[in-house]
Amino acid sequence: MQVVQIKNLNFNYGENVIFNNFNLNISEGKFVTILGKNGSGKTTLAKILGGFYKKNILIYGENDYQNIKVIFDDLDFDGIVMNILINSLKGLDKKEISDRVIEVSKLFGFDKLLNKDYDTLCLKDKKIVNLGIGILSKPKVLVLDNILEGLDKKNKNIILKKLKKLKITMINLSNDVNDALISDEVVIIGGGKVLLKGSKKRVLEDENFFETYDMELPFTVNLSNKLKFYELIDRVYFDDKKLVDDLWK
């Protein structure tokens, strides 16, 4: 089922064209990473998906944004973390709100931060709390606008794997090509259009594309290509641990 459908989207800031007949479909339950160079329109796309700019896009077949939640990298809050989380939920009784806050905070490992002031948190903890706020409302589609930028590889991978276990449709707009390694599908945008879209395997094995558009491949994929060239391995790896383990066999 197509959850997000964008057809012939045009958008510009004055004379600066961001999207020109832009088309993109996202299937239900997929973890999709959208990559693009700075200025390619990732944050603008997030705002369009969130309904900040009213465009004719379809969410579950309707021009309705109730089922989608967008989390931006620049979110900032005041007050105690627990109160911020509680205030982000509407229309639920106190017990349901409390149970949901505890469940999400434990899942993403910020339950010990609930009684702390948001302003005193480090960057990593603020990002995780922001993520928790987005998940609390149980959206059917979650959009992340570079929310994990600045986190180290280990923490980012832990969070991405936990997000994937939620089994909701996830759209991760990112500057980090390594995010593609944990995705189901990868989309690369630029010049107002989708340049390449497909499964993780199909996109990341297209070495010529990355060379043509001067984009870096994930380290593990790049290393795989070099080892494959020298016939030390016979396929491309997307997991560095698996690559190392197989090399040592």
Torsion angle of the four alpha carbons 229, 235, 240, 243, in this order, in degrees rounded to the nearest 10: -90
Question: Whole-angstrom Cα distance, residue 227 to residue 25?
Answer: 35
Confidence band (pLDDT; 50, 70, 90) for 246?
confident
Evaluated on CA atoms 121, 127, 133, 135, the torsion sign reads negative
Q: Is the full-model pTM beyond 0.85?
A: yes
61: alpha, beta or left? (left if phi > 0; alpha if psi -120 to 50): left
Q: Where are the domains of the chain?
A: 1-67+139-200, 81-132
- Greater confidence, 94 or 25? 25
Q: Average per-residue pLDDT in the chain?
A: 91
Q: Which residues pair with 58 in a beta bridge?
A: 5
Confidence band (pLDDT; 50, 70, 90) for 199?
very high
Q: Which amino acid is at 122?
A: C
**Tokens for 168?**
């909701």
Question: Whole-angstrom Cα distance, residue 244 to residue 72?
Answer: 35
Summarised one tens digit per residue, pLDDT across range 50-74 is 999 888 888 988 888 888 999 987 7
**If 0-12 CB within 10 Å is exposed, 13-18 middle and 19+ buried, where does residue 232 land?**
exposed
Q: Are 197 and 66 in contact (CB under 8 A)?
A: no
Average pLDDT score over residue span 5-14: 93
Average pLDDT score over residue span 133-137: 89
Domain 1-67+139-200 coded CATH 3.40.50.300: yes
Average pLDDT score over residue span 111-125: 92
Q: Are 224 and 243 in contact (CB under 8 A)?
A: yes
pLDDT the model gives residue 245: 87
Share of the chain above pLDDT 70, in %: 100
